[in-house]
């Protein structure tokens, strides 16, 4: 079975409203969409996502007639965009408005779509599906997919990513006793959204294991745990769920944390991937996620997530803790950081959180034989000393990150209280949170030029050569 969904940015939805709802007559607009097709690791079924890359206006002269209950138009704009899409393995989405507010496809829509999409599959011999979407007066959507057989299939979800994250209709079976107090605070919709989200956690150290413990207790039911490392003695002071037994056997962190969550007895489906996030199996799981927590200090791992957020509109909440003692017995830095990575915000590279030279070293450390050869040749020094870490602070940063997820779902801070990055300085009692003003560099392909927004699948994946 294949589940279809559409993802777009809030800017796309705003532009569509401008094009489709400017008056009382029906209107059309189009979009180029990236594609993503993977097997969902939680159930093995196929997820086919369409990611809006560019909204394209229909020129006024293309309409033959526009009425409140329909319109006729030339197929030339659609055919031209379709040829452009086919050359890049993109999809075309055709939007039209129902200004009278009926959010369903009419008999006229059925006939028009059949005739329109037959162009794609007969004249151009396209083999992959394209989309038809309705927007009503309130800005709500309903959509369907047409493949070569011209049999329409309704989307399972239409996701919009902006300052708030709208993942479509919540599931209806989240009214469980263990979430009663949470529902009293945030309502049933937030719990229902959490129950349907597929959440990835990359890195299961102090912050990652704490995030896993927290999201499982707030009602997340689909988790992908990604980390190649094993438990050591030094992990026992900060790794949630880990025991001396786990350290003695050097058990995989994904197994320790996964089993710890399972023992809570909550209805959580867990995928365990003992890999770096650049591994094909991990990348497939991440592309199936709705939200990802980045809990690794590995620069290459951050770059993978940086690109994931832009290629596929899978927002990333990245965490970090930096403790720098000085010679005077104090601290030059004692900060926790939560950064939201998504199109429209400065990327991790422009913020200085990813450095090319460190990415190169990280790539070497993922290949033991290559690293040994480089070390012998003098190109790479030994592993640096580990950073200072304290479990109370890693756990607090994890709580900051999970609270950021809550805000993106329900806006509990208020309509204007958004931040793409929040830094908490643990050295001060008051006014401890700051909002750094990161800035995109105009030449940056990711967040400056926005070259990869909505690109979806390509070769090489994420345009990243490891």
**What are the structure tokens assigned to 171, written together?**
């599931």
**What are the structure tokens assigned to 39, written together?**
């097997």
Q: What is the pLDDT of residue 361?
A: 79
3-class SS of residue 28:
strand
3-class SS of residue 377:
coil
Query: Which of 178, 137, 38 is CA-nearest to residue 461?
Result: 38
Q: How confident is the model at residue 17 (pLDDT cuts 50, 70, 90)?
A: very high
pLDDT tens digit sequence for 382-411: 556 678 999 999 999 999 999 999 999 999
Q: Hunting for tokens 């709705």 — which residue is that?
A: 290
Q: Which domains does the chain have, with CATH numbers?
A: 2-161 (3.40.140.10), 177-463 (3.40.50.720)
Q: What is the pLDDT of residue 386?
A: 78
Please answer whether residues 60 and 308 qualify as being in contact, where contact means their C-beta atoms are separated by less than 8 angstroms: no
Q: What does the alpha-carbon distance between residue 284 and residue 180 come to, in Å, rounded to a whole number?
A: 34
Q: How confident is the model at residue 336 (pLDDT cuts 50, 70, 90)?
A: very high
pLDDT tens digit sequence for 243-276: 999 999 999 999 999 999 999 999 999 999 999 9
Q: What does the alpha-carbon distance between residue 346 and residue 444 come to, in Å, rounded to a whole number?
A: 10
Average pLDDT over residues 460-464: 95
Average pLDDT over residues 227-243: 96
Spatial neighbors of 456 by CB under 8 A, at least 6 apart, are 33, 34, 35, 36, 49, 50, 51, 53, 90, 311, 312
Q: How confident is the model at residue 80 (pLDDT cuts 50, 70, 90)?
A: very high
Q: What is the pLDDT of residue 377?
A: 44
Q: How confident is the model at residue 368 (pLDDT cuts 50, 70, 90)?
A: low
Residue 36 has pLDDT above 80, yes or no: yes
Q: What is the pLDDT of residue 371?
A: 46
Please answer whether residues 226 and 275 qualify as being in contact, where contact means their C-beta atoms are separated by less than 8 angstroms: yes
Residue 52 has pLDDT above 50, yes or no: yes
Average pLDDT over residues 180-207: 95
Q: What is the pLDDT of residue 363?
A: 78
Query: Which of 218, 163, 213, 198 is CA-nearest to residue 292?
Result: 198
Residue 410 φ then ψ, to 5°? -125, -5
Phi-psi region of 100 (alpha: psi -120 to 50; beta: other; left: phi over 0): alpha
pLDDT tens digit sequence for 100-156: 878 999 999 999 999 999 988 987 777 899 999 999 999 999 999 999 999 999 988
Of 161-170, 214-223, 352-361, 442-451, minimum mean pLDDT range: 352-361
Q: What is the pLDDT of residue 380?
A: 45
pLDDT tens digit sequence for 153-184: 998 899 999 999 999 888 766 667 889 999 99
3-class SS of residue 99:
coil
Percentage of the chain lying above the pLDDT 90 cut: 83
Residue 379 has pLDDT above 50, yes or no: no
DSSP 302-315: HHHHHHHHHHH---
Residue 370 has pLDDT above 50, yes or no: no
Q: What does the alpha-carbon distance between residue 89 and residue 128 come to, in Å, rounded to a whole number?
A: 9
Query: Which of 289, 325, 295 is CA-nearest to residue 308?
Result: 289
Of 16-20, 63-67, 144-148, 425-429, minimum mean pLDDT range: 425-429
* Bridge partners (DSSP) listed for residue 48: 4, 37
Q: What is the pLDDT of residue 362?
A: 79
Query: Rounded mean pLDDT of the chain?
Result: 92
């Amino acid at each position: 079975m294949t589940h279809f969904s559409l993802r777009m940015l809030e800017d796309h939805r705003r532009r569509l409203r401008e094009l489709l709802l400017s008056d009382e007559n029906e209107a059309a607009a189009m979009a180029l969409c990236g594609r993503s097709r993977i097997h969902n690791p939680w159930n093995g079924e196929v997820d086919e996502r369409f990611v809006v890359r560019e909204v394209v206006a229909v020129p006024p002269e293309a309409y033959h007639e526009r009425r409140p209950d329909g319109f006729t138009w030339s197929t030339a704009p659609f055919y031209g965009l379709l040829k452009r899409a086919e050359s890049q393995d993109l999809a075309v989405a055709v939007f039209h408005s129902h200004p009278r507010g009926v959010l369903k496809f009419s008999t006229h829509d059925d006939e028009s779509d059949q005739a329109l999409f037959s162009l794609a599959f007969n004249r151009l011999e396209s083999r992959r599906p394209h989309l038809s979407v309705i927007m009503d007066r309130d800005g709500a959507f309903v959509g369907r997919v047409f493949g070569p057989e011209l049999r329409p299939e309704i989307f399972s979800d239409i996701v919009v990513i902006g300052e708030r994250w709208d993942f479509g209709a919540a599931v209806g079976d989240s009214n469980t006793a263990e979430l009663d107090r949470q529902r009293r605070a945030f309502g049933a919709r937030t719990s229902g959204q959490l129950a349907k989200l597929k959440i990835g956690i990359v890195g299961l150290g102090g912050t990652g294991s704490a995030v896993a413990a927290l999201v499982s207790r707030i009602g997340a039911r689909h988790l992908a745990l990604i980390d190649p490392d094993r438990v050591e003695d030094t992990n026992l002071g900060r790794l949630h769920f880990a025991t001396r037994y786990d350290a003695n056997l050097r058990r995989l962190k994904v197994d320790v944390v996964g089993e710890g969550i399972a023992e809570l007895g909550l209805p959580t489906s867990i995928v365990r991937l003992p890999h770096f996030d650049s591994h094909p199996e991990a990348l497939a799981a991440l592309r199936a996620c709705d939200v990802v927590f980045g809990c690794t200090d590995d620069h290459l791992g951050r770059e993978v997530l940086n690109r994931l957020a832009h290629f596929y509109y899978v927002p990333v909440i990245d965490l970090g803790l930096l403790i720098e003692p000085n010679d005077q017995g104090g601290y030059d830095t004692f900060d926790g950081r939560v950064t939201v990575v998504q199109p429209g915000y400065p990327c991790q590279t422009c913020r200085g959180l990813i450095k090319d030279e460190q990415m190169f070293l990280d790539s070497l450390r993922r290949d033991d034989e290559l690293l040994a050869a480089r070390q012998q040749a003098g190109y790479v020094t030994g592993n640096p000393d580990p950073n200072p870490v304290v479990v109370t602070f890693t756990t607090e940063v994890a709580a900051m990150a999970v609270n950021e997820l809550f805000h993106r779902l329900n806006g509990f801070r208020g309509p204007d209280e958004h931040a793409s990055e929040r830094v908490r300085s643990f050295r001060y009692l008051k006014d401890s949170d700051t909002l750094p003003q990161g800035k995109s560099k105009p030449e940056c392909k990711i967040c400056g030029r926005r070259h990869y927004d909505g690109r979806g699948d390509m070769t090489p994946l994420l345009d990243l050569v490891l």
